[in-house]
């Protein structure tokens, strides 16, 4: 089992590379595919998952009398980086050669000079590659890493649905820590909806395959901006339909999802994150400014909701703000779940909704605790009701939103400690053995568990914030009044 990392970004041509041509010094390695280390003249900008690319080079250069085959483009995958040393694996093109055997001219008189480029330019080509046996073998973990070379403008569904034939354990789309957002829009890897005519959603989907094992799937640390385009006929920006057992569970975490105007037709519901499968988890996401499209005949919109009654679902530590509708006859709901002891709703903030902040989908109360709402609907024990967005968040100014917690926010220290996991039935969500990620990393990357924090409600853990608190202030005010 290996984790195979491949990069995704637009610095993917020799005209605008991750790193320009390098001078090779030496290499050590062997095998088919050739695997080893390549030492270059000066430390390049290179990342695990990028490719070392030889552009139109010559190979199989003979000894006596010279002469080479080629030219050809030859690609290696970078699997480790240490200063001037790159650990690489041959992927395709020309011949399975040691890089130092690749030459710049047909006479083989000078070494080739490779570039560093991204491996893929789109998520969908990464997804197509999940069934490529050159890259992956049984029980590998495929990890696509997004780079903020430019914003990703998308016009069609971004799929995480391949790999069932190579027999992957996990198919993960993530963002390297250096490229992640800081909890506010525009600060990290960002996807933008191309136009109002596009229904482009992130799809974690399960397909049967020829391999014996199934695939767990993940999208994380992504900002997706709907740009307030009115999307007639579009239902959701994120679709969690991967789960069916813990072997192929689906997860989305640390997203910033905002400015969507969704407009699926009459007798239908729109969703920010639509959960349509068992064994699903959405945690530490920030969702704001979601509404129904102008003129839509939809029933309404839910920031996080289920389209059918399933179980083994955990919704925790999300922050949801400003879920509205185009007309008064529609529902604008924050989190709507079915009542089931194996569907849990914990540590979520939902404020400023057109209707209920939290809503059951089948007539009884959501199973959860330590939630917070601006109305009276936060379910379960230790929940907070009647909060206001202005008192919770750093900044709710349109165009400059910052939904980090502020001093004296009622969410401070009011969350349940989920430690390093939460058990539903016999499954540990956020556990180190059964889940893909842990629950305890906040929207800024702070580890609530290792830092020994008293958990806040929502996606942000604000240790710098002072609790203040109504009790202390009230006592002070009473004293002054007397």
Partner 1 sequence: MEVLVKVGTVTPDQKYYQDGDIVAAMSAVQIEYCHAEMACHVDKAGFNGVGLRDVDSLLYRYMEKTSKYKFIRLNSNEVKRINLLTVEEDIISTTPNADGEAINVAQFLRRRLVNKRHKIFGGRQGQEIWYGGNAPRDRDHSDVLWNEIEAHSDNLKANCCNWPFTPLEKSGFLPLNCCGHKQGEVVEVSDGTCGERASSVKVEGEPDEDGRSTQVMVAKKKWQIPYWDLAVELGIDVSEVRDKDKKVDARSSGDKHDWNHMDDIHVDKVAAGIVIL
For partner 1, the binding residues in 34-73 under the rule CB under 8 A are: 51, 53, 55, 72-73
Cβ 350 vs Cβ 371: under 8 Å = yes
Nearest to partner 1 of 27, 361 (CB atom): 361
> In angstroms, what is the minimal distance from the CB of 479 to partner 1?
26
| Separation between Cα atoms, residue 281 and residue 317, nearest integer Å | 11
H helices within 320-469, ranges in order? 389-392
Count of positions on this chain that bind partner 1 (CB under 8 A): 81
Q: How far is the CB of 330 from partner 1 (least distance, A)?
A: 14
Our CB check for partner 1 shows the closer of 78 and 316 to be: 78
Please report how close the Cβ of residue 432 comes to partner 1 at its closest, in angstroms: 30
CB 412 within 8 A of CB 405: yes
The residue range among 29-37, 199-207, 368-376, 430-438 that interacts with partner 1, by the rule CB under 8 A, is 199-207
Which phi and psi angles does 22 have, rounded to 5°?
Answer: -110, 150
Pick the piece of the chain touching partner 1 (CB under 8 A) from 25-33, 246-254, 307-315, 378-386: 307-315
Burial 91-101 (b: 16+ CB within 10 A, else e): bbbbeebbbbb
- 327 or 388: CB nearest partner 1: 388
Retrieve residue 290's tokens.
């979601």
CB burial of residue 133 (10 Å; 0-12, 13-18, 19+): exposed
* Stretch of 103-111, 225-233, 326-334, 364-372 lying at the interface with partner 1 (CB under 8 A): 225-233
Closest distance to partner 1 from the beta carbon of 308 (Å): 4
Of 92 and 213, which has the nearer Cβ to partner 1?
Answer: 92
**8 vs 436 by CB, closer to partner 1:** 8
Q: How far is the CB of 416 from partner 1 (least distance, A)?
A: 26
Least Å distance between CB 60 and partner 1? 13
Question: Is position 82 an interface residue for partner 1 (rule: CB under 8 A)?
Answer: no
Q: Which of residues 108-147 bind partner 1 (CB under 8 A)?
A: 117-122, 124-125, 128-129, 131-132
Q: How many angstroms separate the CA atoms of 410 and 464, rounded? A: 14
Q: How far is CA 422 from the centre of its chain?
A: 20
Q: Copy the structure tokens of residue 342.
A: 């194996």
Q: Which tokens in the block code for residue 27? A: 């290499």
- Answer whether 291's CB lies under 8 Å from 301's CB: yes
Residues 362-401, one symbol each (x = binds partner 1 by CB under 8 A, - = not), give: x-------------------------xxx---xxxxxxxx
Q: Which two tokens stand for residue 45?
A: 């900008």
Q: Which of residues 88-107 bind partner 1 (CB under 8 A)?
A: 91-94
Sign of CA dihedral 443, 448, 449, 454: negative
Based on CB atoms, which residue is closest to partner 1, 130 or 346?
130
Among 160, 174, 184, 440, binds partner 1 (CB under 8 A): 184
Closest contact distance (angstroms) between CB of 198 and partner 1 is: 4
Measured from the CB of residue 384, what is the shortest distance to partner 1 in angstroms?
19
Q: Could you tell me which stretch among 368-376, 402-410, 433-441, 466-474 binds partner 1 (CB under 8 A)?
A: 402-410
| Residue list 326-355, contact with partner 1 (CB under 8 A) | none
What pairing do the DSSP bridges indicate for beta strands 85-92 and 69-82? antiparallel
Other Cβ atoms less than 10 A from the Cβ of 478: the count is 9
194 binds partner 1 (CB under 8 A): yes
Q: What number of helices (H) and strands (E) belong to the chain?
A: 3, 35
Binding mask 265-294 for partner 1 (x = CB under 8 A): --xxx------x------------------
Contact with partner 1 (CB under 8 A): which of 69, 83, 137, 207? 207
User: Which residues, 6 or more positions from 471, have their beta carbon under 8 angstroms from its beta carbon?
Assistant: none
Q: By CB under 8 A, is residue 307 in contact with partner 1? A: yes
Token duo for residue 465: 């914030």
Using CB under 8 A, which residues numbered 407 to 466 contact partner 1? none
- CA–CA distances in Å: residue 340 to residues 227, 361, 377: 35, 11, 17
- Smallest gap from residue 235 Cβ to partner 1 (A): 9
168 three-class SS: coil
CA separation, residue 316 to residues 92, 172, 387 (Å): 43, 20, 18
Binding part of the chain for partner 1, among 60-68, 98-106, 306-314, 371-379 by CB under 8 A, reads 306-314
DSSP 14: T
Buried b (16+ CB within 10 A) or exposed e, 202-241: bbbbbeebebeebbbbbbbbbbbbbbebbbbebbbbbbbb
> Which of 20, 62, 186, 469 lies at the binding interface for partner 1 (CB under 8 A)?
186
Residue of 381, 386, 354 whose CA lies nearest to 370: 381
Whether the bond between 71 and the residue before it is cis, its omega within 30 degrees of 0, is: yes
Of residues 38 and 418, the one with the C-beta less far from partner 1: 38
Site string for partner 1, 156-175 (x = CB under 8 A): xx-------x----------
Out of 69, 109, 150, 466, the residue judged to bind partner 1 by CB under 8 A: 150
């Amino acid at each position: 089992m290996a984790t195979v990392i491949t990069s995704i970004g637009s610095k993917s041509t020799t005209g605008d590379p991750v790193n320009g041509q390098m001078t090779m010094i030496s290499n050590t390695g062997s095998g088919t595919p050739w695997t080893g280390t390549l030492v270059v003249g000066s430390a390049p900008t290179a990342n695990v998952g990028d490719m070392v690319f030889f552009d139109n080079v010559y190979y199989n250069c003979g000894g006596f009398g010279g002469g080479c085959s080629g030219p050809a483009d030859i690609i290696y995958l970078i699997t480790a980086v240490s200063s001037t040393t790159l650990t690489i694996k041959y992927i395709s093109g020309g011949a399975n050669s040691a890089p130092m055997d690749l030459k710049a001219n047909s006479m083989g008189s000078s070494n080739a000079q490779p570039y560093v480029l991204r491996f893929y330019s789109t998520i969908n080509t990464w997804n197509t590659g999940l069934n490529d046996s050159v890259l992956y073998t049984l029980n590998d973990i495929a990890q696509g890493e997004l780079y903020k070379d430019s914003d990703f403008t998308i016009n069609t569904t971004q799929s995480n649905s391949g790999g069932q034939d190579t027999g992957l354990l996990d198919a993960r789309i993530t963002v390297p820590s250096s490229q992640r957002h800081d909890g506010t829009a525009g600060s990290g890897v960002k996807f933008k909806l191309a136009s109002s005519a596009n229904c482009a959603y992130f799809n974690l989907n399960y397909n049967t395959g020829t391999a014996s094992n199934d695939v767990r799937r993940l999208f994380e640390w992504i900002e997706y901006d709907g740009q307030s385009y009115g999307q007639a006929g579009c239902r959701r920006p994120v679709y969690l339909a991967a789960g069916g057992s813990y072997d192929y569970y689906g997860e989305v975490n640390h997203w910033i999802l905002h400015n969507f105007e969704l407009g699926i037709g009459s007798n239908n519901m729109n969703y920010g994150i639509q959960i349509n499968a068992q064994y699903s988890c959405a945690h530490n996401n920030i969702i704001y400014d979601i509404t129904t499209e102008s003129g839509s005949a939809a029933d309404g919109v839910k920031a996080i909701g289920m389209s059918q009654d399933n179980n083994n679902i955990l919704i925790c530590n999300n922050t949801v703000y400003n879920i509205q509708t185009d007309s008064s006859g529609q529902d604008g709901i924050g989190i709507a779940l079915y009542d089931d002891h194996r569907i849990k709703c914990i540590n979520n903030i939902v404020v400023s909704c057109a209707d209920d902040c939290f809503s059951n989908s089948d007539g009884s109360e959501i199973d959860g605790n330590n939630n917070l709402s601006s109305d009276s609907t936060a379910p379960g024990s230790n929940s907070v009701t009647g909060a206001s967005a202005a008192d919770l968040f750093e900044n709710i100014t349109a165009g400059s939103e910052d939904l980090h917690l502020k001093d004296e926010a009622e969410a401070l220290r009011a969350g349940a400690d989920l430690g390093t996991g939460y058990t539903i039935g016999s499954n540990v969500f956020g556990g180190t053995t059964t889940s893909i990620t842990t629950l305890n990393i906040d929207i800024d990357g702070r580890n609530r568990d290792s830092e020994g924090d008293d958990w806040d409600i929502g996606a942000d853990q604000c240790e710098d914030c002072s609790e203040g608190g109504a009790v202390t202030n009230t006592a002070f005010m009473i004293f002054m009044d007397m």
